[in-house]
Amino acid sequence: MRDGKLQKIWCCLVGLCGFLVISGCNSPLTQNDLEALLSRGELVLITRNNSACYYEGPHGPAGFEHDLAKAFAEYLGVGLRIEIIEEEVEMIAALRAGKGDIIAPGVPFGSQSARLLSLGPGYLEVEQQVVGRRGGPEIQNRKALEAYTLWTTGSSARIEYLEELRRSYPGVSWQILTAYSDEDLLQMVWNRSLPLTVVDSNIMSMNHHYYPELKIMLTLGHPLKLTWATDQRNRRLKQALFTWFDRKETRDTIKGLVEHYYSHLESFDYVDLTRYRRRIKVRLPKYRPYFEAAAKKYKLDWKLVAALAYQESHWNPKAESYTGVRGMMMLTRDTAASMDLENRMDVESSIFAGARYLARLHRLVSKTIPEPDRTLMALAAYNIGFGHLQDARILARRLGKPENSWHGVRSVFPLLQQKKYYSTLDHRYARGNEAVMYVDRIRTYYKMLRPNLDLIASDPATHDGPPVFKGP
């Protein structure tokens, strides 16, 4: 998209916003904007439906932006309502029309958008990344981009990056696909429908493990921070927003959300995840009925049981480690005996025993711990033992960290390897770093499972990805 067309869009937007201000169509009241919000009892968040912003998770609404906004709503003492709008221009128009209180797009705002909005403090740094596929175009420098079309969505900050890039490299060109999301474009690059796309680094991080063949070719420009935006007329809400972001509790919340949504992705391994996706197709179908039956019996998510089993044995029923754990679920002799399992190498029996053991650990974890934290702690206990999990919770409390959140417990697990700390605990030394990596990898396997199952279901003959993209 060239400058003229983009400029027309923004002119239309400015005109629309001006009309809404003059007409007063559902426009918020400037004088008492915060009081009006508190009176109606809800904060309305305008955001996108994707992995970085908002989605329906296995335990209810989830997503970085959703969880952060929920914390702000709780601070205000109101409920949270989500308004899904995908296009930035439409988000701004809806905000100006009084259909929402805050925009959280999950991507930075460009300078043209910023002039129409009141931006809050920055809270997460992201970069613009050119993404290709292994075996596709090899981009060694920015000059090489002139040979390809860059496909992207209509993020204002991203377009400004590209316009700046074109001033140095006039041959750079791009196409904007308004009918598709950034995640769609990553999938299109993965299935070779598109050569290159430009996305924000947080979106890439959230999706890289789904498509391990994707490759970050270049980073454009300088990093920008994500911000929320409010209507310029809502001065009191803006003030409350700045006050809240300045609190230590909020900074701790943001740190916890970063760890929750991004930290487990840091152990990304291209070879391992490529192998995993292949085994979803080849190995999983044989054992899936056992996972489903065991999960149903013990009230678990079968995909979680399957992900746990993959972490333990790579779905190899004959797996055996030097420590003596054996079978699909890699149970010790003592654990197997406590689960009434006689033959650990029997696939069905092993899966049922492992699911039963995970369910027992889940029951042992305090009911006061919300999901998904309770499940994540149960997974850690499967690896490191329930006693060490309890030690970690005790240590978290001693160090002023939240003992009932995975974020808090995760942060102290590595300390169980330090004599200074483990010598004061009942169960002494433990390989805490290993437990953290263990849970991180299961979370990655679990997240990869559904989209890969969907791909297999949609194309059982080839499983090479969705239909080839034919153009906008």
- Which residues are designated catalytic? 312
Q: Quote the crossing angle between the two packed helices 64-76 and 248-262, to the nearest 10°.
A: 160
Q: For 97-138, where are the alpha helices, taking DSSP H only? A: 111-114
Q: Which helix (H) or strand (E) holds 46?
A: strand 42-47
Contacts of 128 (CB under 8 A, 6+ apart): 157, 158, 161, 198, 199, 200, 201, 219, 220, 221
> Which structure tokens are listed for 325?
């754990």
- Alpha-carbon gap, residue 369 to 20, rounded angstroms: 46
- Alpha-carbon gap, residue 344 to 107, rounded angstroms: 49
Q: Quote the crossing angle between the two packed helices 64-76 and 235-245, to the nearest 10°.
A: 110
Three-state secondary structure call for residue 112: helix
Beta bridge partners of 133: 214
- Alpha-carbon gap, residue 373 to 434, rounded angstroms: 18
Best CA proximity match to 436, nearest among 358, 380, 375:
380
Q: 123 with 163: CB under 8 angstroms?
A: no
Best CA proximity match to 372, nearest among 411, 410, 415:
410
- Alpha-carbon gap, residue 372 to 359, rounded angstroms: 14
Contacts of 139 (CB under 8 A, 6+ apart): 130, 132, 145, 148, 196, 217, 218
Q: Quote the crossing angle between the two packed helices 373-384 and 432-458, to the nearest 10°.
A: 120
What are the two backbone dihedrals, phi and then psi, of residue 344, each rounded to the nearest 5 degrees?
-70, -15
> Which structure tokens are listed for 242?
């700045």
